[in-house]
Structure 1
Amino acid sequence: MSGYIIANVTVTDPVQYEDYKKWSSAAMQAHGAEVCVRGGKAEVLEGDWQPERLVVLKFPTFEAAKAFDASPEYGKARAARQGAAIMKMIVVEGV
C-alpha cells in the first residue's frame, strides 16, 4: 500500500524557506516521492480547520514515506527550515 506524507506549513520567513524548498525537493527526488500537492489554493468545506500551505507527497509504501522523513537528505532540509516555518506533518497509509 502507498504511503502519504501530509503537511500543513506556516511559513514565517519566506526568504529562508526557499532554502528549505531547495533541499526538500532534492530529498523528494532522491526518495522517489510523487508530489501530489505543494501549496496552491485550498478551501475549507467542513469544520474549523484553517490550513495554510498544504503539501501531500506519495511514496510507494508507508515504510518508504517514513524512511524519507528519517533520511539524511530530508534532515538537511529540516535544518534549513529551522526558524523559517512551523510544520505539522503526518504519515498515513493509502490504498
Structure 2
Amino acid sequence: MPFGYIIANVHTTRPEQMAEYRRWSTEAVAAHDGEFIARGGQQQVLEGTAHERTVIIRFPSYAAARAFYDSAEYRKARQAREGAGVFNMICVEGL
C-alpha cells in the first residue's frame, strides 16, 4: 500500500514562534503515526527555487496524511505558527 507524504518548504521570519509550532506539530505527527523523513538539514537547489528549510513527513497512507493535516492537533500547531513564516505544503501519495 502506498504511503502518504506531507512535504513543506519553509521560510521562517519569527524563530521563537516557529519553535512553538515545532513543538505542537511534533506531537500532532506522533499522534497520527507519522515519521519525519527530513526535517531541515543540508539542502542544495538543483533546479528552481526553494525555501531555507524542507520537511518531509511519511504517514501510513495518503488518507492518514490528510487526516493529520485536518486534525485538531495540527490545527493547534498551524495557529501557533500564524505569521511566523512562509509555508508551501503539499500532500502526495508515494512509495
Shared fold, TM over 0.5: yes
Match of 2:80 in 1: 80
The number of residue pairs the alignment matches comes to 94
Please give the alpha-carbon distance, in whole angstroms, between the structure 2 residues aligned to 1:22 and 1:71: 16
CA distance in 1, matches of 2:48, 2:68: 30
Mapping of residues 25-40 of structure 1, within 5 Å: 25-40=26-41
What is the root-mean-square deviation in Å for CA atoms of aligned residues?
0.8
CA distance in 1, matches of 2:44, 2:30: 28
Sequence identity, in percent?
49
> Deviation per CA, 1:39-95, whole angstroms, max 9, x where unpaired?
1110122x2223311000000100000000000000000000001111100000002
1:1-95 → structure 2 map (5 Å cutoff): 1-45=2-46, 47-95=47-95
Moved over 4 A (4+): none
Listed as ranges, the gaps of 5+ residues in structure 1 are none
**TM-score, normalised to structure 1's length?**
0.95
Report the residue type matching 2:77 in the other structure. A
* One-letter amino acid matched to 1:54: T
Q: Secondary structure at the match of 1:40?
A: coil
Distance 1:31 1:60 in 2: 9
Distance 2:34 2:48 in 1: 30
The alignment partner of 1:5 has SS state of: strand
The answer to whether the 8 Å contact 1:42/1:51 transfers is no
